[in-house]
Chains A and B, each alone.
Chain A
Amino acid sequence: MLDCGLDMTSTLNFLPLPLVQSPRLSKLPGLVLKDGSTFLDKELKECSGHVFVDSVPEFCLPETELLDLSTVDVILISNYHCMMALPYITEYTGFTGTVYATEPTVQIGRLLMEELVNSIERVPKAQSASMWKNKEVQRLLPAPLKDAVEVSMWRKCYTMPEVNAALSKIQLVGYSQKIELFGAVQVTPLSSGYALGSSNWIIQSHYEKVSYVSGSSLLTTHPQPMDQASLKNSDVLILTGLTQIPTANPDGMVGEFCSNLAMTVRNGGNVLVPCYPSGVIYDLLECLYQYIDSAGLSNVPFYFISPVANSSLEFSQIFAEWLCHNKQTKVYLPEPPFPHAELIQTNKLKHYPSIHGDFSNDFKQPCVIFTGHPSLRFGDVVHFMELWGKSSLNTVIFTEPDFSYLDALAPYQPLAMKCVYCPIDTRLNFIQVSKLLKEVQPLHVVCPEQYTQPPPSQSHRTDLMIDCQPPPMSYRRAEVLTLPYKRRYEKIEIMPELADSLVPLEIKPGISLATVSAMLHTKDNKHVLQLPPKPPQPPTSKKRKRVSDDVPECKPLKPLLSGSIPVDQFVQTLEKHGFSDVKVEDTAKGHIVLLQEAETLIQIEEDSTHIICDNDEPLRVKLRDLVLKFLQKF
Chain B
Amino acid sequence: MPLALLVICLTFTTSSPPGPALTARVPASLGGAGQDVGRSCILVSIAGKNVMLDCGMHMGYNDDRRFPDFSYITQNGRLTDFLDCVIISHFHLDHCGALPYFSEMVGYDGPIYMTHPTKAICPILLEDYRKITVDKKGETNFFTSQMIKDCMKKVVAVHLHQTVQVDEELEIKAYYAGHVLGAAMFQIKVGCESVVYTGDYNMTPDRHLGAAWIDKCRPDLLITESTYATTIRDSKRCRERDFLKKVHETVERGGKVLIPVFALGRAQELCILLETFWERMNLKAPIYFSTGLTEKANHYYKLFITWTNQKIRKTFVQRNMFEFKHIKAFDRAFADNPGPMVVFATPGMLHAGQSLQIFRKWAGNEKNMVIMPGYCVQGTVGHKILSGQRKLEMEGRQILEVKMQVEYMSFSAHADAKGIMQLIRQAEPRNVLLVHGEAKKMEFLKQKIEQEFHVNCYMPANGETTTIFTNPSIPVDISLGLLKRETAIDAKKPKLMHGTLIMKDNSFRLVSPEQALKELGLAEHQLRFTCRVHIQDPRKEHETVLRVYNHLKGVLKDYSVQHLPDGSITVESILIQATAHLEDQGTKVLLVSWTYQDEELGSYLTSLLKKGLPQSTS
Contact = CB atoms under 8 A, between A and B. Distances in A.
B516 A513 contact: yes
A493 B505 contact: no
A315 interface: yes
B498 A557 contact: yes
A131 interface: no
B555 interface: yes
Interface string B486-503: 110001101111111111
30 contacts: A174-B161, A176-B164, A318-B304, A318-B305, A320-B116, A320-B304, A321-B306, A328-B157, A492-B510, A493-B473, A499-B17, A500-B17, A504-B501, A512-B502, A513-B500, A513-B501, A513-B516, A514-B18, A518-B497, A519-B494, A528-B473, A529-B497, A552-B600, A558-B600, A560-B513, A563-B525, A609-B525, A609-B528, A628-B596, A634-B517
Contact of A488 (B20, B480, B494, B528): B480
A461 B553 CA distance: 75
Contact of B496 (A337, A518, A607): A518
A103 interface: yes
A562 B519 CA distance: 13
A562 B18 contact: no
A491 B475 contact: yes
A624 B533 contact: no
Nearest to A322: B159
A470 interface: no
Given A522-B492, A552-B604, A615 B531 contact: yes
Nearest to B599: A558
Interface in A527-556: 527-530, 532, 547-548, 550-552, 554, 556
Interface string B18-60: 1110100000000000000000000000000000000000000
A624 B524 CA distance: 17
Contacts, number: 283
Contacts of B608: 547
B550 interface: no
Nearest to B501: A514
Interface stretch (B295-303, B348-356, B432-440, B452-460): B295-303
A634 B498 CA distance: 9
A377 B192 CA distance: 56
B558 A608 contact: no
Contacts of A611: 527-530
Contacts of B384: none
A614 interface: yes
Interface residues of B, number: 93
A503 interface: yes
Which applies to chain B's interface (DSSP): helix, strand, loop or mixed? mixed
Contact of B555 (A504, A551, A610, A614): A551
Given A314-B317, A556-B598, A490 B478 contact: yes
Contacts of B600: 552, 556, 558
Contacts of A500: 15, 17
Given A318-B304, A336-B303, A516-B500, 15 more contacts: A174-B160, A177-B159, A314-B317, A334-B296, A489-B477, A494-B474, A496-B472, A504-B17, A520-B487, A548-B557, A551-B559, A560-B517, A609-B525, A615-B606, A627-B527
B147 to A, nearest CB: 17
A336 B303 CA distance: 7
B601 interface: yes
Contacts of B597: 556, 558, 560
Instruction: Please classify how large the interface on chain A is, using the bins under 10, 10 to 19, 20 to 34, 35 or more.
Output: 35 or more
Nearest to A310: B317
Contacts of A613: 529-532
Contacts of A507: 520, 522
A513 B471 CA distance: 23
Interface string A598-630: 000000001111111111010011001001100
Interface in A16-40: none
Interface of A: 103, 173-178, 188, 206-207, 310-311, 314-315, 317-321, 328, 331-332, 334, 336-337, 487-496, 499-500, 502-504, 507-508, 510-523, 527-530, 532, 547-548, 550-552, 554, 556-565, 606-615, 617, 620-621, 624, 627-628, 631, 634
A521 B15 contact: no
Nearest to A332: B120
B498 A511 contact: no
B423 to A, nearest CB: 20
Given A492-B476, A520-B486, A559-B513, A502 B501 contact: yes
A519 B496 contact: yes
Given A488-B479, A563-B525, A504 B503 contact: yes
Contacts of A515: 498-501, 513
Contacts of A206: 477
B74 interface: no
Nearest to B508: A494
Most A-side CB within 10 Å, residue of B120, B495, B499, B598? B499
B596 A499 contact: no
Nearest to B298: A334
A331 B494 CA distance: 55
Contact of B526 (A177, A496, A608, A621): A608
B495 A311 contact: no
A519 B486 CA distance: 10
